[in-house]
């Protein structure tokens, strides 16, 4: 998981109770509506990292998730000026709240617990008065909540470690990090003896929250994955996968040309070993040991037809 995405994944865990994390946001009735959601405001438009909402004491929470140590004053003021009308006009208001005239909107800034003091100093410097949620491998804190906001502050410890990687990557991640997840997915498709793997199916497989991602972010992420698989098919995997561009009638996709799983059983182990070496080269590694996503050997993938679990990374 990209350390930049720890705050977003922590927010998700606190809403859902993923892993061993508590769910203080979920316990307050909040659920996730969208990620990368457009919002119109009078001082400039934004793309909210996450939109959460609840129906009882109707509330919309716009979350700005910061991987770094500073808060942008301009961006923060846009978040703080957001209202129901602007969220609705951008198409990001939950449909169940569209007929409610008592819905409140709150902006919350989310960061790493290790950066809390710097984030607090940045918010003070820019005179930004808003809730700050920080997450870490053994605790989470929500502070700066006004008594009248209908959102409760909290400070808690947990034993969940880093949050589950619901967003291991996103549309801003480097190509090599996208390859880390795409290569095992393609090899698993070989193991299942799939004939066609479309690019959007790959997106759904490597990004668990795909269905909640805003349309523009989906378009950007799909373009990144499309570029990665095209380059893979033009390289070492060219004899095994063919990239087929999208048309008006079809989505871009990968055609699986062959698989060691369909070979003479006597040659299958050697076939997977060769594919293992190709996967390592595609990922720029001497040995194909890819943390989390290639925890299983390609022979294991051939038998299981799936991938290993996700692993976290240390805090910054």
Domains delineated in the chain: 3-157 (3.40.1350), 175-304 (no CATH)
CA dihedral 53, 169, 137, 141 (to 10 degrees): -30
- pLDDT tops 80 at residue 202: yes
- pLDDT at residue number 2: 79
The DSSP code for 211 is G
Q: What percent of the chain has pLDDT over 70?
A: 82
The DSSP code for 83 is -
Q: Are 233 and 227 in contact (CB under 8 A)?
A: no
What stretch of H or E contains 106? strand 104-112
- pLDDT tops 80 at residue 146: yes
Which one of 25-29, 238-242, 305-309 scores highest in mean pLDDT? Answer: 25-29
Over range 129-134, report the average pLDDT: 96
Can you give the length of the chain in residues? 316
Distance of CA 117 to CAs 2, 112, 135, Å?
22, 10, 13
Which one of 50-54, 69-73, 293-297 scores highest in mean pLDDT? Answer: 50-54
What confidence tens digit (pLDDT) does each residue in 39-48 have? 999 999 999 9
Average pLDDT, the chain: 85
Distance of CA 118 to CAs 23, 66, 67, 72, 115, Å?
26, 12, 12, 13, 5
What confidence tens digit (pLDDT) does each residue in 261-316 have? 444 444 444 444 444 555 555 555 544 443 334 444 444 444 444 333 334 444 44
Distance of CA 164 to CAs 3, 20, 301, Å?
12, 9, 22
| Nearest residue to 96 via CA among 55, 48, 155, 130 | 55
pTM for the model: 0.82
Least-confidence region, from 27-36, 116-125, 298-307: 298-307
- pLDDT tops 80 at residue 258: no
- pLDDT at residue number 3: 85
């Amino acid at each position: 998981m990209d350390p930049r995405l720890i705050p977003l994944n922590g927010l998700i865990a606190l809403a859902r109770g993923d892993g061993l994390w508590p769910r203080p946001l979920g316990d307050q009735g909040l659920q996730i509506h969208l990620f990368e959601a457009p919002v119109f405001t009078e001082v400039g438009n934004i793309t909210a990292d996450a939109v959460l909402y609840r129906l009882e004491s109707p509330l919309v929470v716009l979350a700005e998730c910061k991987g770094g140590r500073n808060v942008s004053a301009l961006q923060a003021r846009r978040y703080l000026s957001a209202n129901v009308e602007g969220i609705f006009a951008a198409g990001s208001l939950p449909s169940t709240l569209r007929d409610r005239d008592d819905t409140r909107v709150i902006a919350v800034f989310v960061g790493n617990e290790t950066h809390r003091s710097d984030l607090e100093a940045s918010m003070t410097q820019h005179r930004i008065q808003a809730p700050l949620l920080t997450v870490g491998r053994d605790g989470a804190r929500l502070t700066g909540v006004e008594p009248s906001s209908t959102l409760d502050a909290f400070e808690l410890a947990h034993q969940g470690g880093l949050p589950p990687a619901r967003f291991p990557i996103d549309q801003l991640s480097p190509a090599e990090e996208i390859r880390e997840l795409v290569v095992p997915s393609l090899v698993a498709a070989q193991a299942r003896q799939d004939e066609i793997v479309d690019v959007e199916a790959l997106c759904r497989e490597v990004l668990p929250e795909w269905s909640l991602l805003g349309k523009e972010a989906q378009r950007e992420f799909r373009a990144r994955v499309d570029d990665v698989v095209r380059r893979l098919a033009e390289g070492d995997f060219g004899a095994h996968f063919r990239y087929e561009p999208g048309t008006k009638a079809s989505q871009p996709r990968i055609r699986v040309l062959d698989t060691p799983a369909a070979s003479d059983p006597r040659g299958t182990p050697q076939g997977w070993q060769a594919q293992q070496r190709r996967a390592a080269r595609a990922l720029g590694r001497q040995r194909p040991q890819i943390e989390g996503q290639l925890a299983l050997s390609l022979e294991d993938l051939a038998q299981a037809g799936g991938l290993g679990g996700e692993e976290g990374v240390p805090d910054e």
